[in-house]
Structure 1
């Protein structure tokens, strides 16, 4: 078990401040192992008691036990990477599918079918390739879909997007600063927003009417500091969303043709 799994397990108990602290911990796992609770508090601008409460929410007796867990998880993760990176890939896929199975996609399917146009925007090149494939698949359903390739064109398109449309954002972090203003503008105009991001508490998901998560576990390359991050979980989730949409359409068609 790793920290992300614990975060998912206890997500209903975690406050926004807790998510912020955990986000810092995930980004600085190596440094955390050398920090005292006071030092961590200074880094995240939080009190010692707040961090202690957080560790207890996650099921630990205190900060020392939490650090021990982090150290063991890191050692286990390193061993796993050295043993077989394919296992890591399969775990991302399995966790993505497991989370999706606990999610009801009916409301999203209804919103996609109701929308005049589905606008799609991805914050990175790799994510955009997945979105482009999704857009092509929507054409099979006679659904109008437009992939917006760059931020400038997103800004230009904003005035053309109406309440009868829906806007889908795909991101890894869900925290791309340049896009936040666009999402807030869409919120203010009551235009439906869909956020598809890696599993985390993030801005995109928080400000979307429909939010969905995939898993993407980073790993080091050739024992160097280079970090690789696969988006296979994203591809699986987007394909699943399309299949749920087609299932919804087929059901509507069958019911409409009943005598």
Structure 2
């Protein structure tokens, strides 16, 4: 599809001096033009309304309003394209960051703990983490592990119960700053019952990392969809895929 600049180039042989003055303004200040009436543009360029109209007709538009509508549409598509490019760059950087960190992790001990545990409790902090928790639970169940998905608020109930067994695993999926009220209870469960803790947090929960035996940090890549709703592309899913891939490889090696 031809852009307005393309149309200017295609018809430049028809231009007089006044046309070139308008063409240069269109090329240099497209954002400003979006809000200018034909009268405003005429005053800025020291041209008549009829000269502005003739220019827009020379480049293929029936009226100044038709020209301005096409310009606004073109600018909107360009902004969307730039956002998409920026999002792709952010996702690539985030993905590269995970792969780089993953290469330096020795997950053998974690895979051993997952293999020998009877129960895995997944505690999530929000609805967004609930989806990630469901995804992780499915991956673990596919690999033969019993999983229980719970809100973080259920931690005290679980720790106070008689259901916990030695070497059960607690996985915490947290996003955003979280007021963790059961630190002492968790530490007691780790110490007395041999609970293994895995923390999958974003940057805002650094202080909770100290309570975790295994620590996985993720970042969020934010974007807006076409309806302007906020959407989070969260690295946590990539971490889950990499972790489960490593676990499958560990089981495969052990079965030889």
2:171 to 151, 168, 173: 168
Alignment of 1:40-189 (within 5 A): 84-149=86-151, 151=153, 153-158=154-159, 159=161, 160-173=163-176, 175-189=178-192
Does structure 2 retain, via aligned residues, the 8 Å contact 1:93–1:215?
no
Does structure 2 retain, via aligned residues, the 8 Å contact 1:171–1:196?
yes
TM-score when normalising by structure 1 = 0.57
1:71-98 Cα offsets, whole Å, 9 max, x none, are xxxxxxxxx9696222112212221221
Does structure 2 retain, via aligned residues, the 8 Å contact 1:95–1:215?
no
Partner of 1:9: none
Partner of 1:210: 214
Q: How many Å separate the matches in 2 of 1:210 and 1:113?
A: 15
Where do 5+ consecutive residues of structure 2 fail to align?
1-81
1:192 to 190, 196, 214: 196
Q: How many Å separate the matches in 2 of 1:108 and 1:247?
A: 13
Where do 5+ consecutive residues of structure 1 fail to align?
1-79, 255-259
Does structure 1 retain, via aligned residues, the 8 Å contact 2:221–2:233?
no
Alignment coverage as a number of residue pairs: 170
Q: Does the C-alpha gap of structure 1 residues 176 and 90 become closer, same or farther in structure 2, counting only changes over 3 Å? A: farther
Q: How many Å separate the matches in 1 of 2:130 and 2:182?
A: 15
Choose 210-219 or 92-101, whichever is displaced more.
210-219
Which structure has the higher relative contact order (CA within 8 Å, separation 6+)? 1
1:134-185 Cα offsets, whole Å, 9 max, x none, are 111222222111111451x332222222323111111124743235355334
Does structure 1 retain, via aligned residues, the 8 Å contact 2:136–2:240?
yes
- What is the RMSD computed on CA atoms of the aligned residues? 2.8
Q: How many Å separate the matches in 2 of 1:174 and 1:162?
A: 30
Q: How many Å separate the matches in 2 of 1:235 and 1:141?
A: 17
